[in-house]
């Protein structure tokens, strides 16, 4: 989806004059993973996916450790993905106002934890678990503890597990999403072929807020049920009605002459946002395709569409992953 990089974020820790201590990159500690030909790097900042490669070839469009995630690259989006209209919502008999992190459109975007420091629970050669400790935020006075596990296997690639537990004393609204930009080589994105098994799509207004219910995808620019080239299409669409395999996974496949990258979303991720990175600048403009697994569509805090309500002590878990095949 059209991303936004907040203007305020933690800064690198500079060593004091005369100190021998090394500075820390803006994304904090870097957790490296490897299995077979796969390699990944996860950041302390936001528990984000900074790099993923197979055989030395990038699978996601990454960024530098001392760079904030451009266009929300690889960021974990909790306790909601996408946008909340004007940051205002009503829940449990009360009205709440979130900070407007997408100032130009007057929205709250992509949750609250992507610029927080997540603490390590476990780090092994092929996996890491990071945790966001429970506490409230302005406009979100609920206490969720969230664990993010990234695991690599030589045959199946990347498997991500996100679990959120309500440690508070009252029900909490919740949604999950993640924002990987997939790449299948140096050729133009227009030449890449996309297959995505969605039967419905959600129209939005100029501020990225849904203008009505999900519609049948027949004839829409975002209809990729049959594999075809992306071409000059400008995509920034939330898709649902996903066709699934017998194990409950829905697969999207991105192909070029050089490679194929496949993203899967688990059974309780009914939405995929697809974004052709048109609003990114420089060497990131239309150079990768974001396919974002989501538990709910834009503005779910307002509409209640697919919104999860976690009772005190309740846990919800979401899964997604990526596999790559080089030609």
* pLDDT mean over 11-27: 62
End-to-end CA distance of the chain: 28
CB-based burial, 3-42: b 16+ in 10 Å, e otherwise: bbbeeeebeeeeeeeeeeeeebbbbbbebebebeebbbbb
pLDDT digits (tens, 9 = 90+) for 138-185: 999 999 999 999 999 999 999 999 999 999 999 999 999 999 999 999
How many Cα atoms are found within 13 Å in the side-chain-facing hemisphere of 244?
15
Alpha-carbon radius of gyration of the chain: 19
Domain edges within the chain: 30-186+203-210+242-326
| Residue 160: C-alpha distances to residues 18, 41, 244, 265 (Å) | 42, 13, 18, 10
What is the pLDDT confidence band of residue 16, given thresholds at 50, 70 and 90? very low
pLDDT band (50, 70, 90) for residue 20? low
> Could you tell me the fold of the domain covering 30-186+203-210+242-326?
Beta-galactosidase; Chain A, domain 5 (2.70.98)
- pLDDT tens column, 81-134: 999 999 999 999 999 999 999 999 999 999 999 999 999 999 999 999 999 999
Question: Alpha-carbon distance 34 to 193, whole Å?
Answer: 28
């Amino acid at each position: 989806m059209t991303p936004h990089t907040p203007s305020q974020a933690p800064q690198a820790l500079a060593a004091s004059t005369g100190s021998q201590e090394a500075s820390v990159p803006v994304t904090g500690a870097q957790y490296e993973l490897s299995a077979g030909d796969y390699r990944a790097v996860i950041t302390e900042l936001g528990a984000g996916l900074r790099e993923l490669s197979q055989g030395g070839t990038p699978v996601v469009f990454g960024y530098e450790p001392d760079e904030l995630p451009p266009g929300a690259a690889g960021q974990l989006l909790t306790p909601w993905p996408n946008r909340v209209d004007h940051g205002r919502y009503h829940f449990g008999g009360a009205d709440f106002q979130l900070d407007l992190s997408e100032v130009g459109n007057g929205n709250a975007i992509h949750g609250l934890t992507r610029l927080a420091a997540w603490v390590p629970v476990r780090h092994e050669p092929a996996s890491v678990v990071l945790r966001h400790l429970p506490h409230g935020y302005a406009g979100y006075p609920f206490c969720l503890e969230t664990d993010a596990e990234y695991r690599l296997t030589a045959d199946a690639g990347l498997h991500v597990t996100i679990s959120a537990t309500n440690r508070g004393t009252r029900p909490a609204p919740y949604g999950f999403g993640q924002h990987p930009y997939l790449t299948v080589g140096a050729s133009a994105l227009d030449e890449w072929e996309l297959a995505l098994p969605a039967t419905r799509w959600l129209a939005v207004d100029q501020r990225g807020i849904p203008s009505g219910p999900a519609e049948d995808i027949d004839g829409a620019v975002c209809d990729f049920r049959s594999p075809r080239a992306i071409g000059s299409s400008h995509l920034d669409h939330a898709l649902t009605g996903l066709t699934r395999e017998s194990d409950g996974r829905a697969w999207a496949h991105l192909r070029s002459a050089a490679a194929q990258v496949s993203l899967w979303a688990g059974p309780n991720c009914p939405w995929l946002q697809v974004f052709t990175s048109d609003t990114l600048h420089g060497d990131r403009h239309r150079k990768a395709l974001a396919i974002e697994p989501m538990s709910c569509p834009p503005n779910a805090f307002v509409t209640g569409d697919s919104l999860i309500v976690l009772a005190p002590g309740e846990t919800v878990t979401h899964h997604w992953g990526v596999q790559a095949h080089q030609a």
